Amino acid sequence: MKVISIIGARPQFIKEAVVGAAIRAAGMDEVLVNTGQHYDVNMSDVFVKDLSIKEPDYNLGVGSGSHAFQTAATMIRLEEVMIKESPDVVLVYGDTNATVAGALVAAKLKVPVAHVEAGLRQHPKDMPEEINRVVTDHISTLLFCPTQRAVDNLKKEGITGGVHFVGDVMYDLFLKMLPHLDVHRTLVRFGLREKNYILATLHRDFNTDDPHRLHSILSALRDISREIPVLLPLHPRTKKAIELNIFQPLTGSIHLVEPLPYQDMMSLLIGSRMAITDSGGLQKEAYFAGIPALVMMPDTGWMELVEAGWNVLVDADREKIFRLVFEHEPSALPLEENLYGTGNAGQRIVEILAI
């Protein structure tokens, strides 16, 4: 069995760390392709090194550009690789441009597509990640769902064949890495005190590319940082948007750092009082870490955490973000029913691939 796995953006390196290891442990042949959508060392190489991902067999070097450019350039380069390698299955992760590009190329070459993190749905329907998810799911042969809700979402769209609830590979990784985290030392390195700071992230295009929303969010973080330290690892997209709008005066009291490696990020999350984020991954990792999150989105693919009262959707509402930092205190972790599986999603995916 030969599998081509496609990665390109930060969250995919994280997912590949789990599934790639399980593929190789099962003795399957894995060809790893990095599209190069993320190319800064802190956005890519650092994950390959820290998470023991194998060196990619192909680096497509696509880089940045418009959505059409990024997707099309990836497709053209991937097609050559797939024709040359002739895989039995192509594995794509999540919802990025690398995901949809990989799925389209494989489907048209009549190679089965396996989608890890299938079935997530959220508004706004025109956000790039949502378009990528819907298209990818509709042309996939195997759909690996992280939650039962994702299975139900697919059913509503008439997709039932090849659908498997396997759990969340990000939960696998969190459990695997937990014993290797040194929260105390990481906090010392960043000059922070336990439960006495907020960890924030901000990179969604609907937040960064709309000056009103960006202003509102940065103002909220600035207001909060006057009461309690706010650590914000800055995504390159957000950095550019801040410079473009000359919003630097808003960030003076916020503790800005470069994008961080996985272990640092998880240690800082565990040590924090709360997360404020528009990242799909971090809002859920916060839950794994036992930390509540304010989610700066109008909707989320992980609605079960909002319904359980653990996370709160705050959109870009400055007043609400500020107020809830001090008022939102969920009483208990809604862990009852293995919402995200039991930490063996990677293993289950490989077992199903092998059938």
Q: Is 212 a catalytic residue?
A: no
Considering the complex, what minimum distance in angstroms separates the CB of residue 99 from ligand UD1?
7
Q: Is 40 in the site for ligand UD1 (CB under 6 A)?
A: yes
Sorted by sequence, the CB contacts under 8 Å of residue 164 that are 6+ apart come out as 142, 143, 144, 145, 348, 352
Considering the complex, what minimum distance in angstroms separates the CB of residue 316 from ligand UD1?
16
Name the residue nearer to ligand UD1 (CB basis): 112 or 236: 236
Q: Is 9 in the site for ligand UD1 (CB under 6 A)?
A: yes
Considering the complex, what minimum distance in angstroms separates the CB of residue 232 from ligand UD1?
14
DSSP letter string, 268-302: HHHHSSEEEE--HHHHHHHHHTT--EEE-SSS-S-
Q: Which stretch binds ligand UD1 (CB under 6 A): 93-101, 216-224, 225-233, 316-324?
A: 93-101
Name the residue nearer to ligand UD1 (CB basis): 98 or 353: 98
Structure tokens at 140: 């996939």
CA-to-CA separations, 153 to 132, 137, 255, in angstroms, rounded: 15, 11, 39
Q: Is 15 in the site for ligand UD1 (CB under 6 A)?
A: no
Long-range (24+ apart) CB contacts under 8 A made by 204-213 are 204/127, 204/278, 204/279, 204/296, 204/297, 205/127, 205/128, 205/237, 206/124, 206/127, 207/278, 207/296, 207/316, 208/235, 208/237, 208/238, 208/241, 209/241, 211/245, 212/316, 213/316
Name the residue nearer to ligand UD1 (CB basis): 40 or 319: 40
Q: Is 334 in the site for ligand UD1 (CB under 6 A)?
A: no
Q: Would you say 275 and 321 are in contact if contact means Cβ atoms under 8 Å apart?
A: no
Q: Is 265 in the site for ligand UD1 (CB under 6 A)?
A: no
Task: Report the C-alpha gap between 293 and 353 in whole angstroms.
Answer: 34
- Tell me, what DSSP letter sits at residue 345? H
Amino acid at 289: A
Q: Is 95 in the site for ligand UD1 (CB under 6 A)?
A: yes
Q: Is 236 in the site for ligand UD1 (CB under 6 A)?
A: yes
Sorted by sequence, the CB contacts under 8 Å of residue 158 that are 6+ apart come out as none
Sign of torsion over alpha carbons 330, 331, 337, 342: positive
Binding ligand UD1 (rule: CB under 6 A), the pick from 128, 261, 330, 334 is 128
Query: Which of the following is catalytic: 38, 115, 184, 203?
Result: 203
Q: Is 39 in the site for ligand UD1 (CB under 6 A)?
A: yes
Q: Which stretch binds ligand UD1 (CB under 6 A): 90-98, 110-118, 189-197, 246-254?
A: 90-98
Name the residue nearer to ligand UD1 (CB basis): 261 or 334: 261
Name the residue nearer to ligand UD1 (CB basis): 275 or 353: 275
Name the residue nearer to ligand UD1 (CB basis): 10 or 222: 10
Q: Is 35 in the site for ligand UD1 (CB under 6 A)?
A: no
Contact residues for ligand UD1, defined by CB under 6 A? 9-11, 37-40, 43, 64, 95-97, 128-129, 203, 236-237
